[in-house]
Amino acid sequence: MDTAVKYGQVLSWVATQVLTPLIRVLLRNGMSFNAFSDISKKVFVQAGMQEFGIPGRKPTVSRVSILTGLSRKEIQRLLEERDPAAETEVHETYNRAARVIAGWVRDAEFTDASGAPLTLSQAGANSSFSLLVKRYSGDVPARAVLDELLRVGAVERLDDDGIRLLSRAYIPRTSDLDKLDILGADVADLITTIDHNLQAGYNDPRFQRKVMYDNVPTESIPAFRALSAAQAQTLLERMDEWLSQHDRDVNPSVIGTGRMRAGIGIYYFEEKLEQLPEEK
């Protein structure tokens, strides 16, 4: 079989695998095909203009038309169209809230002798929520961060006005919109890592692994869920501690050049498969 045909078949399979769970989410949340089609066109055009130009030449509408199959008129319209998605503050909210919770969990000033997060007063010079926010979220008002953490169910306010942490991670519990925001951010990071590994080969690989078995009894799954959650949380907290020591927003004494975004993500998955013939 011709190599180009094989590539086309594999890419079709990849697109189907990636899009199937995404389309399921989009349909469940009311996005039509026409809306998805418009977004897809815009992303194709943006990627073509930003990443697939000829070295030494300015990207052109004509070249993007050849790459994408869209007409030059349609590409020009999409380039001139305002992009509301670019105006969101998803990453900023996510990062700031996650940093505050991470600091609360690992900073000795905000934990007790056993390492458990303290219940904090809202304000004060020592071990207060306002001090925690100032240390790990910069100049954002403590009230704004508290409102966000209350909104997503990560903390609760007690009768004595104390603030107690309910979750060791920023996992929205009250809003599907927050979880959709995380979907966009986290899936994009995973696919970007895979794309890098496809291009870089063995020269500059980024860590990308998973462990999976496909004949596990249903009764074993709850124990594995609990084990994987505990182990993954422990690893992420260790990674967070290291990164926070090297991040200039958290630790202004860090020196160096450039500004990089780096991190590690872990996810759990399971799927019910057909039973073996002897089990039916």
Give residue 135's pLDDT band: very low, low, confident or very high (50, 70, 90). Answer: confident
Radius of gyration of the CA atoms of the chain, in A:
23
Overall fold of domain 90-165: Arc Repressor Mutant, subunit A (1.10.10)
Q: Which of 103, 33, 128 is nearest to 243 (CA)?
A: 103
Model-level pTM greater than 0.75?
Answer: no
| pLDDT at residue 6, rounded to an integer | 83
181 pLDDT above the threshold of 90: no
For the chain, give every domain's residue range. 3-86, 90-165, 209-279
Residue with tokens 């991670």: 169
| pLDDT at residue 87, rounded to an integer | 46
Q: Which of 232, 245, 260 is nearest to 169 (CA)?
A: 232
| pLDDT at residue 53, rounded to an integer | 79
Which pLDDT tens digit goes with each residue over 31-58?
889 889 999 999 999 999 988 878 888 8
Q: Kindly report the backbone phi and psi dihedral angles of residue 155, in degrees, each rounded to the nearest multiple of 5, phi listed first.
A: -135, 170
The Cα diameter of the chain in Å comes to 73
- Pairing mode of beta strands 163-165, 155-157: antiparallel
Q: Which of 197, 92, 78, 202 is nearest to 137 (CA)?
A: 92
The more confidently predicted of residues 170 and 90 is 170
Angle between helix axes 176-200 and 3-28 (nearest 10 degrees) is 170
Give residue 251's pLDDT band: very low, low, confident or very high (50, 70, 90). Answer: confident
Which pLDDT tens digit goes with each residue over 258-279?
999 999 999 999 989 877 656 5
pLDDT, mean of residues 238-263 = 90
Alpha helices per DSSP H over the chain: 3-28, 33-51, 61-68, 72-80, 90-106, 129-137, 142-151, 176-200, 221-245
Give residue 219's pLDDT band: very low, low, confident or very high (50, 70, 90). Answer: very high
Which pLDDT tens digit goes with each residue over 105-122?
888 899 998 888 999 998
174 pLDDT above the threshold of 60: no
Give residue 64's pLDDT band: very low, low, confident or very high (50, 70, 90). Answer: very high
Distance CA 189, CA 195 (A): 10
Cβ-based burial of 129 (10 A; exposed 0-12, middle 13-18, buried ≥19): buried
Mean pLDDT of the chain: 86
> Looking at the chain, how many residues does it have?
280
